[in-house]
Structure 1
């Protein structure tokens, strides 16, 4: 809805918090989502992402806390992508802010090209659809491994195997520099092989080589977990 120079986005009410809260509650009980539930969550989120991308919208801040939940009468969860105030129309051009802190992002779910965008001072195009796909790969890690990227995700630099743990004491900009410097999310060895390969295709450094959101959805539906 237009309001003056702003656009108001009206969405369905999602009363059952968000997926990060759910994962945190499960982790506190020593539990995690069943693989089938994690895959179903992944499919629902990716369907929303496919819709956004089909309408030339990049979210730019995909993460579990921006995936809202509503329980159905059968105790199943219906998921919604929220926090669209960070999203951009891909047909527009953007330049970096002089102050990186004015940009809205969540470092543990940030693609390498988004990290570069945040850190550069010269004019540059804002990353497109594939930055959301990178974030989707990180979300899949959270869903199947119950890692909450903002508090306990490990990063590893492939050429040196140097590791780095994200904790509550680590600043966002420290993580941005790590991602820009080649550190990447660690996928648990216990992860289902099909899901692991899918995540790897989401987390390719070269954005052009990454899966599209549609390919992520096709793969999740093919795996039928």
Structure 2
């Protein structure tokens, strides 16, 4: 594969000693713009280097063509709550191609880190801020879906925080919208990547495994779609509800039998997956004061077992806007 650059004409230097995170497909490093070209953003950016074991997939011409088609869409996206991608660089090496994404850098870190910090410090989240966070994510997700894109791997690790400053309020942005995880899952023709790399707690039942509830065998599909993203967003919003009350106990309930799991101890990842796939359990949404009842209802509308009963991202955004009034 030849050298290729898709997107901005800028040049950058990646600082290997400044790793700022890692994800399902690669590692993120802080980088600096060395030649701006047509780039008009900040001098400090983030560069994601795709793990070498996945680049062989992209070296296949057919797979790369699919990937490139999505990238051309992603690079054109500009939205207040979606991390901006600027370019993709493809550089051949002796052992295979090296793929790197260049995107905006947000020193505020991820929502996962923010939630863990609040849990460890026993800090409570203001209800109005939980509503605003949810609006930010629903707004970004709705925009993706309006552009016929699904995320497929939405979880707190893939939500970044832009800190307040210079008159700007704090805001959340959805990251990892490149879709490479989805393409890899399709290529592998199994859900092993999904199960191993992605947190089961944010994946919908139809992704975790096909199973039957209440004798309805026609509702499941293992193909990620817009309603899959909505379940994931609902799971993130449930985390925010727990941050409001400080009660981070994760409880699952079977909607048919009423059986409850997770009250005695926290379920492990595989236990959680089995509870959802085998027993048909769904997260319990508790909403004691000061949780806004409308926000809790929005979460319940996202965490519907049957795909067609979930809200769309656009419908969710309208309900959340009403919560903010």
TM-score by length of 1: 0.81
**Counterparts in 2 of 1:42-191, with a 5 A limit?**
42-73=134-165, 74=167, 76-84=169-177, 85=179, 88=182, 94=186, 97-98=189-190, 100-103=191-194, 104-116=197-209, 126-146=223-243, 152-165=249-262, 170-180=267-277, 181-190=279-288, 191=291
Deviation string for 1:12-51 (max 9, x for gaps)?
Answer: 1111111121122122222221111011111111111112
Name the one with the larger strand percent: 2
Match of residue 213 from structure 1: 313
Distance 1:134 1:66, change over 3 A: same
**Structure 1: any 5+ residue segments left out of the alignment?**
119-123
Aligned residues: 213
Query: Structure with the greater relative contact order (CA < 8 A, sep ≥ 6): 1 or 2?
Result: 1
Structure with higher Rg: it is 2
Name the one with the larger helix percent: 1
Distance 1:36 1:157, change over 3 A: same
C-alpha displacement at 1:142, in angstroms? 0.8
TM-score by length of 2: 0.58
Match of residue 121 from structure 1: none
- Provide the rounded CA distance (Å) in 2 between the counterparts of 1:189 and 1:223: 14
**Counterparts in 2 of 1:8-27, with a 5 A limit?**
8-27=100-119
- Provide the rounded CA distance (Å) in 1 between the counterparts of 2:262 and 2:319: 29
- Provide the rounded CA distance (Å) in 1 between the counterparts of 2:207 and 2:198: 9
